Amino acid sequence: MSRPLVIVHGWSDSSDSFKKLARDLKASSIATEITTIDLGEYESLNDTVNLDDVAFALDRIWKSQNLPTATRSVDIITHSTGALVVRNWLTSYFADRMGPVFHFVMLAPANFGSPLAHKGRSFIGRVLKGWKADHPGEVGEMILDSLELASRFSWDLALKDCMAATGANPYSSAGILATVLVGNEGYDGIRSIANEPGTDGTVRVATANLNCIHLTADFANPIVGQPIPMRQLSGIAFRVLGKENHGSIVEGKSSENAEAFALICEALTLAPNAYDAFAQRMAAANKAEWLDVTATKSAQHAYNNVVMRVRDDRGQDIDNYLIEFFVARETDAHPAALTRIFNEDVIESVHCYDRNKAYRSFHLDISTLMSQTIAAQGVDLRFSLSATPAFRDDRSAGYKSWKITDLHDVKIPVLPGTPMFQPFQTILVDITIPRKVGDDVFRLKRVP
């Protein structure tokens, strides 16, 4: 059955960038699957507009244009920020989080942010991008806030659609047939200044992937001997394309990106009973090209995005804390050497969310972590946590330092194939620690 197709652009872009892709799709073999093609257009460089506003405006025009609202009645392609626009719309205006979407093709999506978002809000970012806006100097301040690595928006959105405690997973063969395609090649020329390891020049491969994990570590009310609760979203079709960057992946049909266009066409025509096999085929291709750490054919490494949020048992976010990772095993002759490898070579970078430093993104080099240097030794990774204000017994309130021995024997086994260390994914780690209050903070003195 044929369906309308809607294409939604990303930050600082416009629908003009997708006219060639639309024409190529209409001229392709899947043309009979498409009734109409609409190119979405929204304000992305206006400082007063946030992604909730965009979702509201999308829902309003959807209804005014009488676009279909029945289950699986429309297909959508998004680029970059467009994925957040559509995901937010679905979770905000459809109780089942699925809405009318059947095939959802995300091209280079910023599902868990972009390392360039906070740079876009800087003075230089305003100089480079602000000239495009109707209001000079504006860069979409509130949208860029949501796009920042470890943003509260991306965290909350993932818990609403990917990790919702109730209801079926919306992204599966029984729901929305979601496909994520992202490049692993940076820009050429002057734009190469934006390139970072593990990115397509704008978004990180790991933050594009919608397959993710949510860990809840409650050290205020621990259950000794029990593993940390974990929820996992897996099985979403995800492909890393080595020849594509953030811009080239949307260029339509050409000899340079023939694989990307072919996958877009295939993703738009999948039957539900073919989706799981499609996703497995893409995962196998990723493994063959990128995840064999013993091979030397690829100079690029695979990375993970680990986002941590630390709060206390009263729900108060803690924005001043230090997490230190240790490799510790009694049989290791020199565990400090492995600790140094992890902290210097595995942790590529750390970013604190500007508006709330309780949220932090760790960019981890999984290829190095899974190398024979560490993984072959079967080590356990542990961590300590220090937060301020520090608790003292003399009339104080605050937090004690959590050393290795205090964290109830929390161990993270570093072994290939474990869910925690599947490359190209985001892991959300929700940590709760108790806030201590000294006996002298409040006293009663009885009157004789």
- pLDDT digit string (tens) for 278-287? 999 999 999 8
Cβ atoms 366, 423 nearer than 8 A: yes
| pLDDT at residue 256 is higher than 90 | no
Residue 287's CB is within 10 A of a number of other CB atoms, namely: 12
Cβ atoms 301, 368 nearer than 8 A: yes
| pLDDT at residue 66 is higher than 80 | yes
pLDDT band at 122 (very low <50, low <70, confident <90, very high): low
Cβ atoms 307, 360 nearer than 8 A: yes
Residue 62's CB is within 10 A of a number of other CB atoms, namely: 20
Q: Span 413-431, mean pLDDT?
A: 81
| pLDDT at residue 299 is higher than 80 | no
Q: At 89, which helix (H) or strand (E)?
A: helix 82-93
Sign of CA dihedral 99, 105, 107, 109: positive
Distance between CA atoms of 305 and 41, rounded to whole angstroms? 30
User: What predicted TM-score, i.e. pTM, was given to this entire model?
Assistant: 0.92
- Superfamily classification of domain 3-211+231-290: Alpha/Beta hydrolase fold, catalytic domain (3.40.50.1820)
Sign of CA dihedral 183, 184, 185, 191: positive
Of residues 431, 428, 432, the one with CA closest to residue 156 = 428
pLDDT band at 226 (very low <50, low <70, confident <90, very high): low
Res 242: pLDDT: 87
Token code pair at residue 145: 């806030």
Res 220: pLDDT: 84
Amino acid occupying residue 6: V
- Bond preceding residue 416 cis, omega within 30 of 0: no
Contacts of 78 (CB under 8 A, 6+ apart): 7, 8, 10, 85, 86, 104, 105, 106, 107, 109
Distance between CA atoms of 97 and 229, rounded to whole angstroms? 24
Token code pair at residue 16: 């003009």
Res 301: pLDDT: 83
Distance between CA atoms of 160 and 52, rounded to whole angstroms? 14
Residue 406's CB is within 10 A of a number of other CB atoms, namely: 14
| pLDDT at residue 171 is higher than 90 | yes
Number of H helices, E strands in the chain: 12, 17
Average pLDDT of the chain is 86
| pLDDT at residue 356 is higher than 80 | yes
Q: Span 93-117, mean pLDDT?
A: 94
Res 124: pLDDT: 46
Percent of the chain with pLDDT over 90: 59
Token code pair at residue 379: 């080590």
Provide the residue count of the chain: 448
Res 81: pLDDT: 97
Cβ atoms 421, 298 nearer than 8 A: no
Using CA atoms of 63, 64, 68, 70 in order, give the dihedral in degrees to the nearest 10: 30
Buried b (16+ CB within 10 A) or exposed e, 177-206: bbbbbbbbbbbeeeeeebebebbbbbbbbb
Q: Span 315-342, mean pLDDT?
A: 75
Q: pLDDT, tens digit, for every residue of 2-36?
A: 999 999 999 989 999 999 999 999 999 999 999 99
pLDDT band at 298 (very low <50, low <70, confident <90, very high): very low
Indicate the pairing of strand 380-387 with strand 412-413. antiparallel
For the chain, where do the domains classified as CATH 3.40.50.1820 start and end?
3-211+231-290
Cβ atoms 416, 375 nearer than 8 A: yes
Distance between CA atoms of 353 and 370, rounded to whole angstroms? 28
